Amino acid sequence: MLQIYNSLSRQKELFTPREPGKVGMYVCGITVYDYCHIGHARMFIVFDVLYRHLQALGLDVTYVRNVTDVDDKIIARAAQNNEPVDVLTDRFIDAMIEDETALNVLRPTHEPRATAAIDQMVALIDVLIEKGMAYAADNGDVYYSVSKFAGYGKLSGRKLEDMRAGERVAVDHHKHDPMDFVLWKSVKPGEPSWPSPWGEGRPGWHIECSAMAKSLLGEQFDIHGGGMDLQFPHHENERAQSEAAHDKTFANYWMHNGFVRVDEEKMSKSLDNFFTVREVLKEYTGEELRFFIVNSHYRSALNYSTAQLDAARAALQRLYTSLRGTLNNANAGIEQSYVDRFNESMNDDLNTAEAFAVLFDLAGEINKLDSPESAQATKLANTLRALGDRLGLLQADPEAALQGAPAKSGDLSSSDIDALIAERNTARAEKNWQRSDDIRDQLAQAGITLEDAGGKTTWRRS
RNA sequence: GGCUGAAUGGCAGAGUGGCUAUGCACCGGAUUGCAAAUCCGUUUACCUCGGUUCGACUCCGGGUUCAGCCUCCA
H helices of A252-335, in order, are 277-280, 286-294, 306-323
Strand-strand pairing, A260-262 and A265-266: antiparallel
- ipTM score for this prediction: 0.96
Whole-number pLDDT of residue A317: 96
State phi, psi for A172 to the nearest 5 degrees. Answer: -130, 120
> Cβ(A172)–Cβ(A178) under 8 Å?
yes
Q: Could you say which nucleotides of strand B lie within 7 A of any protein CB atom?
A: 1-6, 11-15, 21-25, 32-40, 66-74
Residues 190-209 on chain A lying near strand B, CB distance under 7 A:
205
The answer to whether A212 touches A112, Cβ cutoff 8 Å, is: yes
Report CA(A179)–C1'(B43) in Å, whole number: 58
Q: Which tens digit of pLDDT belongs to each residue from A116-170?
A: 999 999 999 999 999 999 999 989 999 999 999 999 999 998 888 877 765 555 5
Query: Which residues, including other chains, have CB under 8 Å from residue A248's CB and lie 6 or more apart?
Result: A219, A220
Closest CA to A37 of A418, A291, A294, A304: A304
What distance in Å separates the CA atoms of residue A252 and residue A240, rounded to the nearest whole number?
A: 14
Number of H helices, E strands in chain A: 16, 15
Does residue A322 approach strand B to less than 7 Å at its CB?
yes
* Cβ of A268 less than 7 A from strand B: yes
Instruction: Calculate mean pLDDT across residues A230-236.
Output: 96
| pLDDT mean over A412-433 | 93
Q: Quick one: pLDDT at residue A171?
A: 62
- Percent of chain A scored above 90 by pLDDT? 87
The per-residue pLDDT for A170 is 55
Rg (alpha carbons) of chain A, rounded to whole number: 26
**CB contact at 8 A, A422 and A380:** no
Residue A160 has a pLDDT of 84
Question: Can you give the pLDDT at residue A410?
Answer: 56
Over residues A95-120, mean pLDDT: 98
Question: Which tens digit of pLDDT belongs to each residue from A248-305?
Answer: 999 999 999 999 999 888 998 888 899 999 999 999 999 999 999 999 999 999 999 9
Q: Is the CB of A351 under 7 A from strand B?
A: yes
Distance A232 CA to B68 C1' (A): 11
Q: What integer is the mean pLDDT of A416-423?
A: 94
Is pLDDT of A6 > 80?
A: yes
Quickly state the pLDDT bin for A462 (edges 50, 70, 90). Answer: confident
Coil, strand, or helix at residue A40?
helix
| pLDDT in the model for residue A90 | 97
- The pLDDT of residue A163 is 78
For residue A64, what pLDDT band results from cuts at 50, 70 and 90? very high
Average pLDDT of the residues of chain A: 94
Task: List, in sequence order, every residue forming a beta bridge with A450; answer none if it has no partner.
Answer: A459
pLDDT digits 0-9 by tens, A310-368? 999 999 999 999 999 999 988 889 999 999 999 999 999 999 999 999 999 999 999 99
Model confidence at A182, pLDDT cuts 50, 70, 90, reads very high
Closest to A4 measured CA to CA, from A218, A224, A295: A224
Residue A270's pLDDT is 81
Residues A202-223: tens digit of each pLDDT: 999 999 999 999 999 999 999 9
Per-residue pLDDT at A408: 52
Q: How far apart are CA A255 and CA A260, in angstroms?
A: 16
Angle at A151 between CA A150 and CA A155, to 5 degrees: 160
State the greatest distance between any 2 C-alpha atoms of chain A, in Å, as a whole number.
92
pLDDT at A106: 98
